[in-house]
């Protein structure tokens, strides 16, 4: 019997998840394991690749068991992960990447900002490759982190056998093959996919010339498009750990946000008309165009980094779900409200969203609860469109109230602030030549009706939600479907495995006018923040 199922694996900031899907995109089972996050002074955030692999294996085993699918019926597996830097020494053993000296802490997490100074020096170089990252490289990307390692931990840098993006580490761990995905190396490592080459002059100019001298052996010589079969499929050892059959096809992976992109935008029809908005701990916006569009402050254009054959512009916000968590934790009523939510079997944001809609008399009307309260939720800087890691959050109009109603208002103001940041990205891209007609949403923090409706109202664009409860997992599964030939190519998988479930139309009239005024206030607050800084 021909294999009929595929597995998608998603490694986020806090957990590893696996989902088992049929060829139509229906998820039969999913499983999750939490993973540790090690934080230290100096914006250091680290993880363990061994722990992550163990969490992946446990999740896959559980998902397959719960679905009741025989392993021989699994026709492919795909991985996505955060754009974190994995450092391995000889024999694939982990190497310490920070002052803990613990080799198990061998991953510099995407949100780690230890390399701000290195990123600023790279940007001061003005090298031509920066044109393809919106003009400015981010400390969240890999070459600033590599330069930090070289300058601060030279022994570990020299001892490193391979530097992987986390998604590529997972495909290597599964297959033993060193191939990298165009998604990871183009978006985070400055690979020029449209020319199929690394630019050695960039590495030499910024101080990483040793990588060019080695002909890029430690960061990837073989670059393949997402979904391309990697190696000979699962090795005997990996198959045993995952509970699957040896040789099961493995598709070249993607960054987690981009997996959410392919898991959603195909359902909206024309991929070029839809912006993928992945709303999680941070957020990512992805827009596809036939020709390259250069947008200041927005990463890209990247060729074939998400949809093969199309150029990708990638914006985003460094803290969205995390910003809401931080905002709520600051409020005097938060602890009691959280206990109340947990007793009702809800998360705190879920409870607050319900209270906001109830108090205001509707989802769109929740914005009328805010009066003069404004939030610019840039706790970790502005990723796009200003590429300003030094930006910080601003709260204006806060009074002395400390009751539940004021917590609800703060929550809604935070959501609106995230929406205004999204609107900025949409408008900057449209001005540059990459307009969009609709937003297709995914990500754990973007699931609620209030969140989706406010984003539609704030941006003036319809917000579409797919039927899939786990579109990021679905995107990863699509990679496995292509590798296992259950779908002929990624575009076909996108069209056949993803379906729109609900559309949130933007409000008109009074609500639209309210958001227009609040958006102008948001921009003024950003400007004042820059001036006083």
CATH assignment of the domain containing 326: 1.20.58.2240
Regarding whether 272 and 170 lie in a shared domain, the answer is: no
Beta bridge partners of 76: 6
Give every residue of the chain whose pLDDT is below 50, as ranges: none
Asked if residue 350 is part of any domain, the answer here is yes
Nearest to 11 by CA among 109, 94, 83, 82: 82
Q: Give pLDDT tens digits for 244-296.
A: 999 999 999 999 989 999 999 888 778 899 999 989 888 989 999 999 999 98
Distance (Å, whole) CA 129 – CA 137:
10
From residue 32, give the alpha-carbon distance in Å to each of 19, 56, 58, 532: 9, 8, 8, 44
Give pLDDT, residue 521: 98
- Predicted TM-score (pTM) of this structure: 0.88
- Which tokens hold the place of 476? 């990863």
Under the phi-then-psi rule, with left for phi > 0, alpha for psi from -120 to 50, and beta for the rest, what region is 137? beta
Asked if residue 39 is part of any domain, the answer here is yes
Give pLDDT, residue 218: 98
Listed in sequence order, the residues at least 6 apart from 447 whose beta carbon sits closer than 8 Å to its beta carbon are: none
CATH number for the domain that contains residue 462: 3.30.420.40
Asked if residue 132 is part of any domain, the answer here is yes
Question: Is 361 exposed, middle or buried, given 0-12, 13-18 or 19+ CB atoms closer than 10 A?
Answer: exposed
* Count of CA atoms in the C-beta half-sphere (13 A) of 121: 15
Regarding whether 244 and 153 lie in a shared domain, the answer is: yes
Distance (Å, whole) CA 195 – CA 95:
33
Output the DSSP codes for 3-28: --EEEEEEE-SSEEEEEEEETTS-EE
From residue 43, give the alpha-carbon distance in Å to each of 38, 97, 153, 393: 11, 13, 16, 17
Asked if residue 380 is part of any domain, the answer here is yes
**Listed residues 207, 231, 256: the one ending a domain:** 256
Regarding whether 92 and 161 lie in a shared domain, the answer is: yes
Give pLDDT, residue 1: 62
Regarding whether 216 and 330 lie in a shared domain, the answer is: no
Name the domain count of the chain. 3
Write out the residue range of the structural domain in which residue 470 sits. 257-319+425-504
Regarding whether 453 and 315 lie in a shared domain, the answer is: yes
**Listed residues 256, 284, 304: the one ending a domain:** 256
From residue 364, give the alpha-carbon distance in Å to each of 283, 463, 514: 22, 13, 11
Element (H, E) at 85: strand 85-88
How many residues does the structure list for the chain?
A: 533
Asked if residue 510 is part of any domain, the answer here is no
Give pLDDT, residue 297: 86
The two beta strands, 180-181 and 223-224, are: parallel
Alpha-carbon torsion (208, 212, 215, 216), positive or negative: positive
Distance (Å, whole) CA 207 – CA 219:
15
Mark 296-328 as b/e (b = at least 16 C-beta within 10 Å): ebbbbbbbbbbbbebbbbbbbbbbbbbbbbebb
Give pLDDT, residue 331: 97
Regarding whether 105 and 229 lie in a shared domain, the answer is: yes
Regarding whether 128 and 41 lie in a shared domain, the answer is: yes
> What sections of 68-213 are H helices per DSSP?
116-125, 142-152, 154-159, 166-175, 182-188, 200-206, 209-213
Nearest to 38 by CA among 102, 81, 115: 102
Nearest to 455 by CA among 487, 412, 492, 394: 412
Cis previous bond, 385, omega within 30: yes
């Amino acid at each position: 019997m021909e294999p009929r199922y595929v597995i998608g694996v998603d490694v986020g900031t806090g957990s590893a998840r696996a989902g088992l899907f049929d060829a139509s995109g229906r998820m039969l089972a999913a499983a999750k394991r939490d993973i540790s996050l090690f934080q230290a002074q100096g914006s250091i955030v680290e993880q363990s690749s061994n722990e992550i692999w163990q969490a992946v294996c446990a999740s896959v085993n559980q998902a397959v068991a719960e679905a009741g699918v025989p392993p021989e019926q699994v026709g492919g597996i795909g991985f996505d992960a955060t754009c974190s830097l994995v450092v391995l020494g000889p024999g694939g053993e982990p190497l310490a990447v920070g002052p803990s000296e613990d080799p198990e802490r061998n991953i510099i997490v995407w949100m780690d900002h230890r390399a701000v100074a290195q990123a600023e020096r790279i940007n001061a170089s003005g090298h031509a490759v920066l044109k393809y990252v919106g003009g400015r490289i981010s400390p969240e990307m890999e070459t600033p982190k590599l330069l930090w390692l070289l300058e601060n931990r030279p022994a570990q840098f020299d001892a490193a056998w391979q530097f992987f993006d986390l998604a590529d580490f997972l495909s290597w761990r599964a297959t033993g093959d060193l191939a990298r995905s165009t998604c990871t190396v183009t978006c985070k490592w400055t690979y020029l996919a449209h020319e199929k080459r690394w630019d050695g002059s960039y590495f030499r100019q910024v101080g990483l010339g040793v990588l060019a001298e080695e002909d890029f052996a430690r960061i990837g010589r073989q670059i393949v498009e997402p979904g391309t079969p990697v190696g000979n499929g699962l090795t005997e050892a990996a198959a045993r750990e995952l509970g699957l059959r040896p040789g099961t096809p493995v598709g070249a992976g993607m960054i987690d946000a981009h997996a959410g992109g392919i898991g959603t935008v195909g359902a909206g029809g024309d991929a070029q008309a839809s912006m993928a908005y992945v709303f999680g701990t941070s957020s990512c916006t992805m827009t596809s165009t036939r020709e390259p569009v250069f947008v200041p402050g927005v990463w890209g254009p990247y060729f074939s980094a998400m949809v093969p054959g199309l150029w990708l512009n990638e914006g985003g916000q460094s803290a969205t779900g995390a910003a809401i968590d931080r905002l709520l934790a600051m409020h005097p009523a938060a602890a009691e409200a959280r206990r109340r939510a947990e007793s009702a079997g809800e998360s705190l944001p879920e409870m607050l969203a319900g209270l906001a809609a109830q108090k205001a008399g509707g989802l769109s009307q929740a914005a009328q609860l805010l009066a003069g309260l404004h939030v610019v939720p840039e706790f970790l800087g502005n990723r796009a469109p200003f590429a300003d890691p030094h930006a910080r959050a601003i709260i204006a109009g806060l009074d002395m109230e400390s009751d539940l109603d004021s917590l609800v208002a703060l929550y809604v103001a935070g959501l609106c602030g995230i929406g205004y940041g999204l609107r900025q990205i949409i408008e900057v891209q449209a001005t540059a030549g990459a307009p969009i007609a609709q937003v297709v949403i995914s990500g754990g923090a973007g699931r609620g009706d209030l969140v989706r409706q406010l984003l539609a109202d704030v941006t003036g664009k319809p917000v579409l939600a797919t039927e899939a409860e786990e579109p990021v997992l679905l995107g990863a599964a699509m990679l496995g479907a292509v590798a296992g030939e259950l779908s002929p190519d990624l575009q076909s998988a996108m069209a056949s495995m993803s379906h729109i479930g609900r559309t949130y139309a933007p409000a008109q009239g009074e609500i639209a006018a309210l958001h227009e005024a609040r958006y102008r206030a948001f921009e003024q607050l950003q400007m004042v923040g820059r001036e006083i800084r």
